[in-house]
Structure 1
Amino acid sequence: MPAAPAAGPKTVSAKPKSSYPRKLRIIGGRWRGRRLDVSESEGLRPTPDRVRETLFNWLQPYIAGASCLDLFAGTGALCLEALSRGAAGVVMIEKAPLVAQRLRQHVERLEATGAEVVLADAVDFLRRTPRAFDIVFLDPPFKSNLIADCAALVEAHGWIRPGGLIYVEAPSRMSELALPATWELIRSKKAGQVGYHLARKTA
């Protein structure tokens, strides 16, 4: 009886590595180099380091003493970076309970006075009694139409001071941002699939 042919080597399909970052690195300021754990959550898309670095170069003349509102806080990268660089206070809005819990852990670990985490949907939050901020971060999930809705509510309800700055992050393929007529686009760049923009509310 002929011997059975030798079995060839088994092919094991490698599981693709996730590109999702496990750590958040603060780039500048008093917490420069600090790394914080990141919770993975559907729709959560941390702002890339190089985009964040460019953004805060833009904001450098305005960040000291500023009040900041992040409507889609996620990892907290934008507001924690702002606090690290001298912002007076930040409010981080996050609708996912586990992500909001991790944000509170970051605040506690850094002993970040002036930081507030609010568990809420951004649109619902913007319908509350407003307070005016110096800088608003508007960085919704790419698979949504929330830029136009949130921008309209920020403007109509007075969440941004005259002369205040609004950071908008959107898919790079988006050719036109649906921003209020009173917002002047002053900076705009692309990095891969990310388009990032800075607008100013005219007085």
Structure 2
Amino acid sequence: MKRGVKQSFRHNGKKAVKTTGSVRIISGQFRGRKLPVIDVTGLRPTTDRNKEMLFNWLMQSIAGARCLDVFAGSGGLGFEALSRYAEHCTYIELDTKAAHQLKSNAELLSLSAEQFSIKQGNALDVLKQLQQPYDLVFLDPPFNKELLPNVIDRIVQQGLLKEEGLIYIECEPSAGTYKVPSQWQLLKEKQSTQILSRLYKQVAP
């Protein structure tokens, strides 16, 4: 848990769900809205600073996009995309409580069933079930789990990124040795002491 983050409890049906603060939507139709984040091991919402950088990179590519948020966690990236008029976001989340919170947060924003879907389960298993390619994919896995190589391979195998589609990868700098296919062209990159951010575009082989 981050220091200085106030804990609270939200009631989800009959069960009290422990929250550790919120994520803020920084622009678009839901600008300024805050969405609760629950206390789940490994859940690490993208900071406002990184989110602002990313969506500046994506400024011309969000409206009308179909998005896939593979390690959804708080859903901050997907909800930010929907706020900026993405058409749809599919969220994949392993933790059951976090998946329920994603649904609650979608309801808080009054999103329609056509605008989002939530797949609860292991990312590799869920990705294998998906058939439709996406315009934009977010990969922001828990740190120090070495999850990126297999997930990247599965995305390629399933053809889940459209031609000219974009994929954003955020990881700890030590995990930046992952390999991507030759058709993924690196467009943007930024590294700090704690976070490595890269944006790729799928081009014709």
TM category (shorter chain) comes to 0.7 to 0.9
User: Which protein has the larger Cα radius of gyration, Structure 1 or Structure 2?
Assistant: 1
Deviation track 1:50-89 (CA, whole Å, cap 9, x = no partner) reads: 0000000000100000000001000000000000001000
1:48 paired residue number: 47
2:23/2:74 contact within 8 Å kept: yes
- Quick check: which one's strand share is greater? 2
47-56 or 176-185, which deviates more: 176-185
1:69/1:92 contact within 8 Å kept: yes
CA drift of 1:173 comes to 3.6
From the superposition, tell whether residues 162 and 108 of structure 1 become closer, same or farther in structure 2 (CA, over 3 Å). same
Q: Which runs of 4+ in 1 moved over 4 A?
A: 18-21
17-26 or 117-126, which deviates more: 17-26
2:70/2:123 contact within 8 Å kept: yes
Q: Does 2:31 match 1:17? A: no
171-180 or 62-71, which deviates more: 171-180
Q: Does 2:34 match 1:35? A: yes
Deviation track 1:22-60 (CA, whole Å, cap 9, x = no partner) reads: 111000000000011110100111111100000000001
CA drift of 1:146 comes to 1.3
Whole-angstrom distance in 2 between the partners of 1:175 and 1:96: 25
1:51/1:191 contact within 8 Å kept: no
Give the TM-score normalised by structure 2. 0.87
Q: Give the SS at the match of 2:85.
A: coil
Unmatched runs of 5 consecutive residues or more in structure 1: 1-15
1:147/1:178 contact within 8 Å kept: no
1:88 paired residue number: 87
Whole-angstrom distance in 2 between the partners of 1:167 and 1:107: 22
Q: How many residues align?
A: 188
RMSD of Structure 2 on Structure 1 (CA): 1.6
2:73/2:98 contact within 8 Å kept: yes
Q: % of aligned pairs identical?
A: 38
2:134/2:165 contact within 8 Å kept: yes
From the superposition, tell whether residues 23 and 170 of structure 1 become closer, same or farther in structure 2 (CA, over 3 Å). same
Deviation track 1:89-142 (CA, whole Å, cap 9, x = no partner) reads: 000001101000010000011011201111121111111142100000011111
1:190 paired residue number: 191
Whole-angstrom distance in 2 between the partners of 1:153 and 1:175: 18
Which amino acid letter does the alignment assign opposite residue 30 of structure 1? Q
Which amino acid letter does the alignment assign opposite residue 147 of structure 1? L
Give the TM-score normalised by structure 1. 0.88
Q: Does 2:56 match 1:57? A: yes
CA drift of 1:17 comes to 3.3
CA drift of 1:145 comes to 1.4
2:65 paired residue number: 66
